[in-house]
Amino acid sequence: MTATLGYCTNVHAGATLTAAKEQLDRHATAVRRELGVEWLDIGLWLSARAVFELKEQEDGAKRLRAWLDERGLRVFTINGFPYGDFHAKRVKQSVYEPNWANARRLLFSTDLADLLVDLLHDDRREAGISTLPLGWRLSFSLEGCGSSVGLASAQLEQFARHATRLEERTGRCIHLDLEPEPGCMLDTSRDVTGFFEQVLRQRAGEPDLRRYIRVCHDTCHAAVMFEDQASVLQAYRDAGIRVGKVQLSSAIECPSSDRAFRALRHFDEPVYLHQTCVLDGAGERHLFTDLDRAFDHAPDGLWRTHFHVPLFADRIGQGGVLGTTQADVVSCLAAIRPEDGITDFEAETYAWGALPLEHRMASLADGIAQELRWARERMTECRLVG
């Protein structure tokens, strides 16, 4: 099994195509130089606006591929989760819009599939696009008056038809990878397996849904929900669901103490949603939609907060009073088996700019390069790379 390790460029600002390219030119090329490699693998993120601008250009995808080649940047996957400006002054729940009951999400995803086919290098026969797990649970359930799940399933089936035609034409399999996240319709492995088994069901004469619809396993998201990483992977094996990509990311872990809570408050920032799950003494989970909501209730127990912190950090916060779920990243890597066929690994610490000042690196490129070195060392220890 040959594994690819790269980083997700949703860490860059860039709501337009020009802005996205400027960010890649500034940061991704610096990461490549810092690592001293000829080619740097990246998980590309482009907003819907940037994708539209690219479509409007003659041979836009091929021209972008040539532009990336000149800079030693090689796309191996696409992050199709954020649709709009992922670095706006306030993102929060808007990152889940449009959801999978909305036709705009399907059109965006098929456009990304068409783009990815042209961006892949010649030796790549397969690649994935990570996407939101249907939608944010509360708004998704209310908007469709109970029919949203059915609408989402129908649109995912339509994506599979599009991917089938793409593969017939190009010989490349582009799959869509649903990414479970706390607070969404699919936020645990049990939700995912239930959706595949009860809703997204194979029908005679239709494309192989489990070939074109897979899972993106984010180690941070599973850790926040207190899911054991090995058990999650086993649940997908048992259900015959393939993991198309693993996103390597780490959450904040906080014990119930005044000192730890004071440190954690420094991570309560206004841009991103920081779902927080508390495991109480009885083993019950309590999920809060954002960190401020958790502080309003402040239950005793072990807290885990959805804030992507540097992979190489095992402690964080003032005086290192807070922990991280770094051990879960290692547990995930150690639990992967050759028969899983997982080849794509993406460091996805998008919140560097939201970290308290004392935790930011001298440059974004320095932080990303250090994360990739740490991840490669762990993957080598787990025999995922040579």
- pLDDT tens per residue, range 246-258: 999 999 999 999 9
pLDDT for residue 295 is more than 70: yes
Rounded Cα distance, 18 and 90, in Å: 22
Rounded Cα distance, 5 and 351, in Å: 19
Specify the pLDDT at position 117.
Answer: 97
Rounded Cα distance, 92 and 354, in Å: 13
Domains of the chain and CATH, by start: 4-249+323-381 (3.20.20.150)
Alpha-carbon distances, residue 228 vs 18, 183, 215, 267 (angstroms): 41, 18, 16, 25
Query: 223 and 322 in contact (C-beta within 8 Å)?
Result: no
Rounded Cα distance, 40 and 46, in Å: 18
- Mean pLDDT score, 323-328: 98
Specify the pLDDT at position 65.
Answer: 97
pLDDT for residue 105 is more than 70: yes
Alpha-carbon distances, residue 358 vs 174, 252, 305, 361, 374 (angstroms): 40, 16, 19, 8, 20
Residue where the block lists tokens 């944010």: 136
- Mean pLDDT score, 142-159: 85
Query: 313 and 326 in contact (C-beta within 8 Å)?
Result: yes
Specify the pLDDT at position 146.
Answer: 62
pLDDT for residue 129 is more than 60: yes
Q: Is the dihedral of CA 276, 327, 345, 163 positive or negative?
A: negative
Specify the pLDDT at position 144.
Answer: 60
The reported pTM is: 0.97
Specify the pLDDT at position 298.
Answer: 80
Q: Report pLDDT digits (tens) over 238-285.
A: 999 999 999 999 999 999 999 999 999 999 999 999 999 999 999 999
Specify the pLDDT at position 139.
Answer: 86
pLDDT band (50, 70, 90) for residue 111:
very high
Q: What DSSP assignment string belongs to 52-73?
A: HHHHHSTTHHHHHHHHHHHTTE
Specify the pLDDT at position 1.
Answer: 57
Q: What percent of the chain has pLDDT over 70?
A: 99
Q: What percent of the chain has pLDDT over 90?
A: 91
- Mean pLDDT score, 363-382: 97
Q: Report pLDDT digits (tens) over 79-100.
A: 999 999 999 999 999 999 999 9
pLDDT band (50, 70, 90) for residue 8:
very high
pLDDT band (50, 70, 90) for residue 299:
confident
| Strand blocks (E) in the chain | 4-8, 40-44, 73-79, 126-131, 173-178, 213-218, 243-248, 250-254, 276-279, 285-288, 302-309, 315-316, 322-324, 344-347
Rounded Cα distance, 155 and 149, in Å: 10
Q: Is 202 helix (H, G, I), strand (E, B) or coil?
A: coil
Specify the pLDDT at position 136.
Answer: 96
pLDDT band (50, 70, 90) for residue 56:
very high
